[in-house]
Amino acid sequence: MTTESSSAASSTAHPDPTQPDPTQPGPTQPGPALGSPPLPAATTRLIALLVAAAFVVILNETIMSVAIPELMGEFAVAAATAQWLTTAFMLTMAVVIPFTGWMLMRLPLRTVFIIAMTTFTLGTLLASLAPVFVVLVAGRVVQAVGTAIMIPLLMTTVLNVVPADRRGRTMGVISIVIAVAPAIGPTVGGLVLDVLSWRWMFWFVLPIGLLALVAGAALIRNVTATRPIPLDILSGILSAVGFAGLIFGLSSFGEAANDNALVSPWVPVLVGVAALAVFVWRQLSLKDYALLDVRAFTYRTFTVSLTLMLLSMMALFGTLILLPLYMQQILGTTTLESGLALLPGGLLMGVLGWFVGRLFDRIGPRPLIIPGSILAAAGLWGMYLFFSAESSLATVVVWHMILSVGLALLFSPLLTSALGSLPPHLYPHGSALLNTLQQVAAAAGTALFITVMTLGIVAGAESGQGDVAAQMTGVHNALVVGAIISLITVVGAWFVRNTAQTEGPAVAADAEESVSP
């Protein structure tokens, strides 16, 4: 790394961004967290406000999943088309999040928060008034812009204001936001749909968004340093084309399975991959002025932990879209019943997230990640083996709870290990990378489960099966694919280091030399 680039980076919140703070223990190393002093009241209020706002905006990512059957009838669209209410949300986030690393280094924290919550609130209003399906999707897209900004904002703030030996418990709370909010989204949606129109999903959220916006504007003060980093337009274009093409292609496989796709989904996927390849090359060339500093991947713990988290997100979002369809279309449940069936698992993830974070501060990630991956795999294999057209709702609840416990043991340790292994000047970029690829994984999981299910239904119908039997074939096919993916997570869990610290200057120097053009 050159002297000039070191000097440029040093104007961030940390005096020497290439080295860990010598006054802190390694961010992912188990430490004596029980004896650390409590956080200042102002810091606690700041984190609480950001967590509450993030929970509300992320909840909207999956709240529409139980409404898909109703919306299919009201707007006369197919399941693969209705899937875009969730997929468009994730696609937009994947396009916007790469810009958040630049935003968080360029703009004050308060300004970024106001932009995020204003955009989210406007999108909520548009969706609530949507007269046609296209306008509803547009409202979801505007919502997603605000959501995309909020998550990296929360993570970067925590990394900058929370001491390393307390990050496990704080990241445990954030894992509740990232994993539990989407998990209970279907339950909230089901409760609303049981007594009111789907539009009330947005009317209920609107005043909460406005309240968070007003509170944030009044209370938030900047806690991170800013510097005048130029925005590289070419990087922005390549990022948008790359991630949009990739997720659009993945989402189109469901329509292609029904022969409804206008073009082969492989076309946008290949365009996206090509654009991302050029994007990565561009970021390596820009170094400290990159839109998204991909040199974070030269840190082994970050890469391994992120990979496992992405596989887990595929399983989470795949089941969140599949299980309501299975319960409503095969088991004949109402939207409320299907939503309530997913509530115990969501609540378990919420309760365990806090405890898992505290355990992480004591024992590190490995003793949590390994059993977590095994439990998650057991949950998916149990669904595949025991779900049938005659299954009781209790069967769904039990196996979903097992999956949820496994995911709770995975998310917080993986999140803390990944981001805590980076030096401070890469915090905004690490958060942006994690959240961008999380959306790709969520879209991939959703598209994979829906596509495999659709192909299974078509194959079952062509072989002479009845409607219910054909649908059950599709569900089983999707579940076995998810179960196979879970086995990869089990193997990968053994490669997570238990006492990984922020990788020191020697590793960082070697890494930068290896990626310099």
**pLDDT computed for residue 14 by the predictor:** 42
C-alpha dist (Å) from residue 69 to 47, 75, 324, 333, 395: 37, 10, 9, 12, 22
Residue 134, CB half-sphere, CA atoms under 13 Å: how many?
0
Residue whose token pair is 């994979």: 448
CA distance 386 to 211: 45
Q: How far apart are the first and last CA of the chain?
A: 12
**pLDDT computed for residue 257 by the predictor:** 56
Is residue 56 in a domain? yes
Give the count of domains, the chain: 1
Question: Quick one: tokens of 267?
Answer: 């076309």
CA distance 226 to 408: 34
| List of residues 6+ apart from 362 with CB closer than 8 A | 30, 33, 34
Is residue 507 in a domain? yes
Is residue 218 in a domain? yes
Question: Quick one: tokens of 470?
Answer: 């054909």
Domain that holds residue 486: 40-515
Dihedral sign computed on CA atoms, order 208, 146, 179, 351: negative
**pLDDT computed for residue 380 by the predictor:** 94
C-alpha dist (Å) from residue 439 to 88, 445, 452: 10, 10, 20
Nearest to 446 by CA among 34, 56, 9, 62: 62
In tens digits, the chain (517 residues) has pLDDT values of: 443 334 433 434 444 433 344 334 344 444 444 456 777 787 888 888 888 888 888 888 778 777 887 888 888 887 767 877 877 887 788 788 888 888 888 888 889 999 999 999 999 999 999 889 999 999 999 999 999 898 888 888 888 788 877 777 787 777 777 767 776 777 788 788 888 888 898 998 899 899 999 988 888 877 667 778 888 899 999 999 998 888 788 777 766 555 555 677 788 889 999 999 999 999 999 888 888 888 999 998 899 999 999 998 888 888 878 898 899 889 988 877 887 888 888 888 878 877 888 888 888 889 999 999 999 999 999 999 999 999 999 999 999 999 999 998 998 889 888 888 888 888 888 888 888 888 788 778 888 888 888 888 888 888 888 888 899 999 999 999 999 999 999 999 998 887 544 454 334 434 333 333 3
**pLDDT computed for residue 512 by the predictor:** 38
Amino acid found at 255? E
Dihedral sign computed on CA atoms, order 426, 431, 436, 440: positive
Is residue 384 in a domain? yes
Is residue 21 in a domain? no
Is residue 192 in a domain? yes
CA distance 69 to 80: 11
Is residue 65 in a domain? yes
pLDDT in tens, 361-392: 888 889 999 999 999 999 999 999 999 999 99
Domain at 443, CATH number: 1.20.1250.20
**pLDDT computed for residue 54 by the predictor:** 87
Is residue 464 in a domain? yes
Which helix or strand (DSSP H or E) is residue 48 part of? helix 41-59
Q: Are 376 and 406 in contact (CB under 8 A)?
A: yes
